[in-house]
Amino acid sequence: MVYIKSDRVEEQIKQVITKLRLTILQKALFSRCVECNQILENISKQKVEGKVPPYAFKTVEQFKKCPDCKKIYWVGTHWNNVKKFAVRVGVLSRS
Ligand SMILES: [Zn+2]
């Protein structure tokens, strides 16, 4: 059991990783659906037309889809913000 000491999410994540001695697999980050934890699958650009915002469809080439809840993911602003957060809490190396 881990008693969370901080009110700040970043500190909480750092504490859990340290206390439980978790090993973070870099290649596993961003590989699962945030809604249902299924492993994301590649999906062709043609199949996401009309299902993602027009700007994303126009500017992004690679998309992933959750086989369970059908949520579609792509590397965009939100993804990049999540990556920056992961670097800040120490679960992703800067690259
Ligand atoms: Zn899902």
19-42 pLDDT per residue, tens: 999 988 888 888 999 999 999 999
Burial-class residue 57 by CB neighbours within 10 Å (0-12, 13-18, 19+). Answer: middle
Q: Give the rounded distance of the alpha carbon of 27 from its chain centre.
A: 11
Percent of the chain with pLDDT over 90: 66
Q: What does the mean pLDDT of the chain come to?
A: 91
Written as one letter, the residue type at 10 is E
> CA of 44: how far to CAs of 57, 63, 79, 91, in Å?
11, 7, 19, 29
Average pLDDT value for residue range 83-90: 86
Q: 66 falls in which pLDDT band (50, 70, 90)?
A: very high
CA of 54 to the centre of ligand 1 (A): 22
CA of 17 to the centre of ligand 1 (A): 24
pTM of the model: 0.74
Long-range contacts: 55-60, Cβ < 8 Å, 24+? none
Give the tokens for residue 10.
């970043």
Output the pLDDT for position 95: 65
CA of 29 to the centre of ligand 1 (A): 15
Q: Three-state SS for 43?
A: strand
Average pLDDT value for residue range 45-71: 96
CA of 63 to the centre of ligand 1 (A): 14
